[in-house]
Structure 1
């Protein structure tokens, strides 16, 4: 069974994480969920815990096992790291090596050969901002593969690129990525 780590960040699209976790479970993936504080404003950790059948990790300072450093263990125990939805804030943190929450700490502790996917979701202007685009380019250089957001009517009322990619595309990318490393 392949072990996926899903990092959910502060975007209105965070509610889609419930369906993503559910679908991944049906495909026999073991899913561990990490959430930023902002993500918990959009969806409850309990929802993702029930669907994943695993503890949801919220706080980098929480150490459930006294003999192990939690964020290091989580990084070691994943076959694929996915940030979906990825907010502009988290993208910036990851691109610059900041490590002040569970998502960024686990990301920084990942072994170099762990596949990393990132699915941005934000307002069009935020996504197209040269700073965000530069941060995404930096992440690509560090081995992240971007799953492009869709063009759609966004929650804010704007139309443009910024909606989370379709879950079917995210799952297809996960499967292609994992198949490529097992061949």
Structure 2
């Protein structure tokens, strides 16, 4: 049985620190996890933390070509079994819904084959999550084949209570397993 390959994209949200637990658990379960990080996500968690857990290089810059003979963002998108975005900020959701490719994550997202399952786990302030623009962008992403992992209702880092907290790591892991076995 070949090892399943997951592209994990981490965007700029206070929940980015949970990407460490997620990366660790996915790796422990035998998945090859290639982590993509936005610039903003690196303000919350370092690439070194995720590299230590994934035991693979972390990718942060669309202009950094790791393989001189290949195009980095195209190569990262090849032969992937699942594209997972956790956490997904309102900014990244908007970019993906509108085909904007101005960083590594959004560029790789466009290069991932449409047949590859895509899971997106939003994490943001309640008012941001409930904003019609964000909801419209999420609805549009669903038409592109993305499946949303609903955020939790919780006390958020900003002090507000409501939907917007990143789904629990266990819930994300269950969706990953379910998606890859279907």
Q: Is TM > 0.5 for Structure 1 vs Structure 2?
A: yes
Equivalence map 1:134-153=2 (5 Å): 134-153=136-155
1:172 aligns with 2:174: yes
State the SS of the aligned residue for 1:56: coil
1:7 aligns with 2:9: yes
Q: CA deviation at 1:154?
A: 0.1
1:76 aligns with 2:84: no
Q: CA deviation at 1:77?
A: 2.9
List per-residue Cα deviations over 1:69-109 (Å, max 9, x = no partner): 01001111311000000000000000000000010000000
1:133 alignment partner in structure 2: 135
1:87 aligns with 2:89: yes
1:22 alignment partner in structure 2: 24
Where does structure 2 lack aligned partners over 5 or more consecutive residues?
A: none
Cα RMSD (Å)? 0.5
List per-residue Cα deviations over 1:15-38 (Å, max 9, x = no partner): 000000001111001100000000
Q: Distance in 1 between matches of 2:27 and 2:35?
A: 12
2:119 alignment partner in structure 1: 117
State the SS of the aligned residue for 1:57: coil
List per-residue Cα deviations over 1:37-92 (Å, max 9, x = no partner): 00000000000001001110000011011110010011113110000000000000
Q: Distance in 2 between matches of 1:57 and 1:28?
A: 20
1:66 aligns with 2:68: yes
Q: Distance in 2 between matches of 1:50 and 1:27?
A: 16
Q: Distance in 2 between matches of 1:61 and 1:49?
A: 19
Q: Distance in 1 between matches of 2:152 and 2:177?
A: 20
Where does structure 1 lack aligned partners over 5 or more consecutive residues?
A: none
Q: Distance in 1 between matches of 2:152 and 2:56?
A: 30
Give the TM-score taking structure 2 as reference length: 0.98
1:155 alignment partner in structure 2: 157
List per-residue Cα deviations over 1:106-162 (Å, max 9, x = no partner): 000011101000000000000000000000000000000000000000000000000
Equivalence map 1:95-114=2 (5 Å): 95-114=97-116
Q: Distance in 2 between matches of 1:6 and 1:77?
A: 14
